Structure formats: C-alpha cells, structure tokens
Amino acid sequence: MFHIAVLPGDGIGPEITREAVKVLKAVGEKRQLELGFSHHLIGGASIDAQGVALSDDLVDTCRRSDAILFGAVGGPKWDHLDLPDRADYALIRLRQELSAYANLRQFRLYAGLEDASAVKNDIVETGIDFIILRELSSGAYYGRPKFREDTPRGRRAVDTIEYYDYQVERLARHGFELARQRRARLTSMSKWNALESSRLWRDVVEEVAQEYPDVDTRHEIVDAGAMNLIQRPAEYDVIIMPNMFGDILGDEAAVLAGSIGMVPSAEISLDGPSLYEPIHGSANDIEDRNVANPIGTILSAALLLRYSLGCPDGAGDIERAVGKVIAEGYRTADIWTSGDQQRVSTTEMGDLVVEML
C-alpha cells in the first residue's frame, strides 16, 4: 500500500487536486496499485483553521508518506502577512524540511494545442517534449555572504553564487539517469564564460558524463540557451541548470506548453518523499468557479507514479489519456482557442481523463 499525502491548499488548489486524486484512483484500479490517500490543510486554509501555515504534525505526516500531491498556497487574504507567517511560506518550509535538492518541470505540447502556445505554429509543431531539472539546494539564492551595507561610494548589496562539486554531481547524475529513460540527450546550461561556479559546474558535469557514454551530452551558455529553447525547442530532451538559471528558464519554457495550467513538476528529495505539484499558483481570480485547468496537477500525478511509486505504465496511461482528451477537442477556458473545440469545466476535464483511461 502506497500512502499519498494530499495537500490541496488554497484558491483553485482543492478543485484541481480533487481531479488528480480521481485520476490516480482510476489508474490504481486499472494497474492494481493499492493507493491510500490522506488529505491535510496547508497554507491559508491551515492558518484559518489552526493559526499556522504548516504544522509540525503535517511535516511528520509528509515525511512518513510515499509521495506528496500538492495544489497551491496563498491568496490576497494572507499575502500581507510577514514571513514566516505567510501562506506561501508553507511550501518553502516544507521543501526545506523534505531536503528537496532538485526541481523537475516537464514541458510537453500536446497535439492540438499549437494555437494555445505563445510561440509560432511552425516552431511548436516540430515537437516539444523536454524536462528542465533545476538545482534547488544551493547557488545564488543560498550562497553566503549575502548582505547590504552603506559605503562612502553608495549603498552596496552582495549575493554569492556557491556550489560544491557534490551538489553538481548528484544533480547531474539525476539528469543523466532521466535522459537514459528518455531520448538520451542531456544539455547542461550554465555561464562558464563569466562565472567560476559555472566553470566548476561544467567540469563536474563533464566528469559524470564519462559514466554515461550512451547519452549525448552538450554544454550551452545559458543566455544563448534561453534563445534556442524558444527557437528550436525540439532539440532538447533533459536540461540541467544551476538554481537561478533554472528558475528563470523554467518560467520562460512554460509559454511553449500552451498554458501555465498544463505544466507538471516535482521537487525531488534527498532522503524522503518527493512532492508533486502544478507550476502555477492558487489563481484566486478564478477560484470556486470550476473553470481552472486541472491537467498540470493530473500530469503531476503521472510524475508521482513514474518517479515515486515505480509505476511508469500508470504514468503513461495518464499522459496518453490527456493526449486523447486534447486531441478530441476538449478544452478548459485557458486553452480554448476556437469554436470547434468543446469548452469544459474543471470537473468535466477530470471525468474525461478518467473515461479515456
């Protein structure tokens, strides 16, 4: 029996996780997987009920689970609070408690969604199916020293980009293993022409690459990579990046996928359960209207099956079912582009995916 901790959170979080759980239950039946679910409050919902955004009990429950399915946290009601009381801080702290060291985002443009993508049809039609694996534990956001000071020359601010070889190595190894399960191509993006930390990054990736001669390894300077990613997205399979570059390019790449509501992600833990969530936030502007796109969360559930429960077949079932629903012309509002497509609600989209399964 696998135990999945479900944390719906705020805004559209409860609506979209409900659909993903529905789909997971259907796959569980089809693939004879025993799945147990427990639902817990987090973020603003938890502040309202028990005064804290993330309770210690919930951290324990998450640690004891096999995987975590997360919706989104935050909203205008709580965004004015100061850290660490803010609703969205719950996710930041939970990532730290679980020792998340990598963030994985899977970008795929499903056939039929070309018009929803912000990029020209002749580019996206070449096929978009890649993963960005971002280092999450170090880099520019955590390096020390980090401070501001007043000096005779004016106000000064310092951030530090820091990497140890072992941090790069474990991320690179993860990237190569992913590439082996996919199309065996790995692109490492960094800024080795200007940054010492990127020169170490490149050296370590090159060392690990020796163990994966079957994987086609490339190095790109991140600024050129940012352009290529939009101009020639079909060239990429697995892309690995330091923390800050992955943060930026991970959002850039979302425009390729048709909607922010289509992109699944995983926060991979060093020694505990991983957390799966759509990349968007709690979308309070469309909360409780049954119009949110649940596919990013449903596809996050597919990643959960593939990477945490060892069930790639179940993950493939979900991804194919989503592909069929899109191919047959069903669209939530965010990906609806023309009158010959059928506009469906959040719950109808979840039902359709279950039907296709």
Catalytic sites, residue numbers: 141, 191, 223, 247, 251
Q: Can you tell me which of 19, 88, 135, 220 binds ligand NAD, judged by CB under 6 A?
A: 88
Residue 14 engages ligand NAD in binding (rule: CB under 6 A): no
Per DSSP, what are the bridge partners of residue 190? 221
Residue 91 engages ligand NAD in binding (rule: CB under 6 A): yes
- For residue 125, the minimal CB distance to ligand NAD (Å) is 24
For residue 82, the 8-state DSSP code is: P
Residue 240 engages ligand NAD in binding (rule: CB under 6 A): no
- Determine contact, residues 233/125, Cβ cutoff 8 Å: no
Q: Can you tell me which of 27, 42, 72, 94 binds ligand NAD, judged by CB under 6 A?
A: 72
Q: Can you tell me which of 29, 48, 60, 79 binds ligand NAD, judged by CB under 6 A?
A: 79
**Residue 153 CB burial class (10 angstroms; 0-12, 13-18, ≥19):** exposed
Cis peptide before 76 (omega within 30 of 0): no
How far is 107 from 265, CA to CA, in rounded Å? 9
Residue closer to ligand NAD by CB (options 28, 43) is 43
Closest CB to ligand NAD: residue number: 281
Residue closer to ligand NAD by CB (options 12, 23) is 12
Check residue 164 and give left, alpha or beta (phi > 0: left; psi -120 to 50: alpha): beta
How far is 135 from 141, CA to CA, in rounded Å? 11
Residue closer to ligand NAD by CB (options 134, 202) is 134
How far is 122 from 352, CA to CA, in rounded Å? 29
* Binding region for ligand NAD (CB under 6 A) out of 71-79, 124-132, 180-188, 209-217: 71-79
Residue closer to ligand NAD by CB (options 42, 179) is 42
Residue 345 engages ligand NAD in binding (rule: CB under 6 A): no
Residue 28 engages ligand NAD in binding (rule: CB under 6 A): no
**C-alpha dihedral, 51 to 298 to 281 to 146, nearest 10°:** 90
Residue 74 engages ligand NAD in binding (rule: CB under 6 A): yes
How far is 201 from 168, CA to CA, in rounded Å? 6
CA–chain centroid gap for 336, Å, is: 23
- For residue 2, the minimal CB distance to ligand NAD (Å) is 23
Site string for ligand NAD, 243-282 (x = CB under 6 A): -----------------xx---------------x--xxx
Axis-axis angle for helices 346-356, 312-327 (nearest 10) = 120
- For residue 315, the minimal CB distance to ligand NAD (Å) is 20
- For residue 157, the minimal CB distance to ligand NAD (Å) is 24
Name residues whose C-beta falls within 8 Å of residue 87's C-beta, 6 or more positions apart in sequence. Answer: 10, 43, 44, 47, 53, 73, 74, 75, 78, 79, 81
Give how many residues touch ligand NAD by CB under 6 A.
23
- Determine contact, residues 350/294, Cβ cutoff 8 Å: yes
Residue 75 engages ligand NAD in binding (rule: CB under 6 A): yes
Cβ neighbours of 235 (radius 10 Å): 15
Interface with ligand NAD in residues 275-334 (CB under 6 A):
277, 280-286, 292-293, 296, 334
- For residue 345, the minimal CB distance to ligand NAD (Å) is 11
Cβ neighbours of 310 (radius 10 Å): 10
Q: Which residues bind ligand NAD (CB under 6 A)?
A: 12, 16, 72-75, 79, 88, 91, 260-261, 277, 280-286, 292-293, 296, 334
